[in-house]
Amino acid sequence: MKNAKEYVGKEVEIGAWITNKRSSGKIAFLQLRDGDHFFQGIVVKNDVGEEIFDVAKSLTQETSVIVQGIVQEDTRSKLGFELLVQNITVVGESHDYPITPKEHGTEFLMDHRHLWLRSSKQHAIMKIRNEIIRATYEFFNEEGFLKVDPPILTGSAPEGTTELFHTEYFDQEAYLSQSGQLYMEAAAMAFGKVFSFGPTFRAEKSKTRRHLIEFWMMEPEMAFMHQDESLEIQEKYVSYLITSVLKNCDLYLDTLERDKELLKKYTQLPYDRISYDEAVELLQKNGFEDIKWGDDFGSPHETFIANQSDKPIFILNYPKSIKPFYMKEHPDREDVVLCADMIAPEGYGEIIGGSEREVDYEKLKDQIVKFGLDSEEYSWYLDLRKYGSVPHSGFGLGLERMVTWISGTEHIRESIPFPRLLNRIYP
- Near Mg ion by CB under 5 A, which window of 5-13, 46-54, 303-311, 345-353? 345-353
Residue 65 DSSP SS3: strand
CA 329 to chain centre: 30
Residue 354 within binding range of ligand 4AD, rule CB under 6 A: yes
Position among 353, 354, 394, 398 found at the interface with Mg ion (CB under 5 A): 353
- Near Mg ion by CB under 5 A, which window of 22-30, 100-108, 328-336, 352-360? 352-360
Residue 230 within binding range of ligand 4AD, rule CB under 6 A: no
Burial of 230 (0-12, 13-18, 19+ CB in 10 A): buried
Name the strands in the sheet holding 172-176, side by side, starting at the edge strand that comes first in the sequence.
153-154, 172-176, 166-169
Least distance from Mg ion to the Cβ atom of residue 86, Å: 56
Asked whether 215 and 177 are in contact (CB, 8 A), the reply is no
Residue 85 within binding range of ligand 4AD, rule CB under 6 A: no
Please give the helix or strand (H or E) that residue 104 lies within, else none: none
Angstrom distance (rounded) from CA 397 to CA 181: 12
Residue 217 within binding range of ligand 4AD, rule CB under 6 A: yes
Main-chain phi, psi angles of 347, to 5 degrees: 80, 15
Residue 181 within binding range of ligand 4AD, rule CB under 6 A: yes
Instruction: Return the number of the residue (16 or 194) whose C-beta is nearest ligand 4AD.
Output: 194
Burial of 24 (0-12, 13-18, 19+ CB in 10 A): exposed
Give whole-number Cα distances, 151 to 155, 181, 187, in Å.
10, 10, 12
Position among 256, 400, 406, 414 found at the interface with ligand 4AD (CB under 6 A): 400
Least distance from Mg ion to the Cβ atom of residue 341, Å: 6
- Near ligand 4AD by CB under 6 A, which window of 21-29, 71-79, 119-127, 351-359? 351-359
Instruction: Return the number of the residue (131 or 356) whose C-beta is nearest ligand 4AD.
Output: 356
Residue 202 within binding range of ligand 4AD, rule CB under 6 A: yes
Least distance from ligand 4AD to the Cβ atom of residue 212, Å: 4
Burial of 372 (0-12, 13-18, 19+ CB in 10 A): exposed
Residues that bind ligand 4AD (CB under 6 A): 158-159, 179, 181, 202, 204, 211-212, 215, 217, 219, 350-354, 394-396, 398, 400-401
